């Protein structure tokens, strides 16, 4: 049976660990040549080596998703080398410390928005001309439960992920006639490094009523499987969707 991404080229940002690594390896097992990018070149290379050990095709690239010039250079190189870019998964993201808005510094706000929202915009902006020229393409944005609620994270992270949903819907609507689809996955609690420690105590107390509505923790593979569905022709008529993958958290 032909793999659903056979012969396609897929870019995955934040592929060095967690959800990004799971997405990258899952796309590769499905036939894609995966470009695993991460701010850390070492972790990106480890993901690429993992794919190659499994018999897949991958290349690693160090990338700061908030660097417009760096993004443009990488995408041009990939388009020149491979002749196509079929799938983009905007996964790279950072958390804030869940501080209340009066306590959050402008520097934290700008850093989180730069990675979580400007990054997906810059990558999408760079790949869209290639997808439009080909008449096909799929962009999968990894948003968050924080894109659906106001009480699961700090102000910067929440605003950035709400912005990802808006970006997703705009791209889906404006490029649907070009054959390009754009959808978002909204993970709930996932066992990754982003769910670590160092959070603000007062902020956590304010968020506790909503955070306490779920006690389910997913593995990264559960999110990667949803991303794969949205990347492939199995979801050919799904465009502009914002799909919770949260164990029912958003239903409560």
41 is a catalytic site residue = no
How is residue 125 written in tokens?
């902006």
Residue corresponding to tokens 């992920």: 161
Burial of 185 (0-12, 13-18, 19+ CB in 10 A): buried
What sign has the CA pseudo-torsion 221, 223, 224, 226? positive
| Marked catalytic residue, from 157, 160, 184, 246 | 157
Cα gap 40→38, rounded to integer Å: 5
Q: Report how far residue 164's alpha carbon sits from residue 143's, in angstroms, rounded to the nearest whole number.
A: 6
Residues 6+ apart with CB under 8 A from 149: 158, 210, 250
Q: In DSSP terms, which residues pair with 87 in a beta bridge? A: 10, 138
Please identify every residue annotated as catalytic: 157
């Amino acid at each position: 049976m032909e793999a659903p991404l056979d012969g396609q080229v897929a870019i995955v940002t934040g592929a060095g660990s967690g959800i990004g690594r799971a997405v990258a390896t899952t796309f590769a097992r499905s036939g894609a040549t995966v470009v695993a990018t991460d701010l850390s070149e070492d972790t990106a290379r480890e993901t690429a080596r993992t794919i190659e050990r499994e018999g897949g095709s991958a290349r690693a690239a160090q990338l700061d998703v908030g660097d417009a010039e760096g993004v443009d250079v990488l995408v041009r190189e990939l388009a020149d080398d491979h002749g196509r870019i079929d799938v983009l998964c905007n996964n790279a993201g950072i958390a804030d410390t869940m501080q209340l808005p009066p306590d959050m510094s402008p520097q934290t706000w700008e850093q989180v928005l730069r990675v979580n929202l400007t990054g997906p915009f810059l990558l999408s902006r760079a790949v869209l001309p290639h997808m439009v020229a080909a008449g096909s393409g799929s962009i999968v944005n990894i948003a968050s439960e924080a894109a659906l609620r106001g009480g699961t994270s700090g102000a910067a992270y929440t605003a950035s992920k709400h912005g990802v949903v808006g970006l997703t819907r705009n791209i889906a609507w404006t490029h649907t006639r070009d054959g390009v689809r754009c959808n978002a996955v909204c993970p709930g609690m996932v066992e990754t490094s982003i769910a670590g420690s160092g959070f603000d105590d007062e902020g956590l107390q304010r968020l506790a009523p909503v955070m306490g509505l779920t006690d389910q923790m997913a593995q990264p593979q559960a999110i990667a499987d949803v991303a794969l569905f949205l990347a492939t022709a199995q979801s050919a008529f799904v465009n502009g969707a914002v799909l919770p993958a949260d164990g029912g958290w958003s239903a409560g």
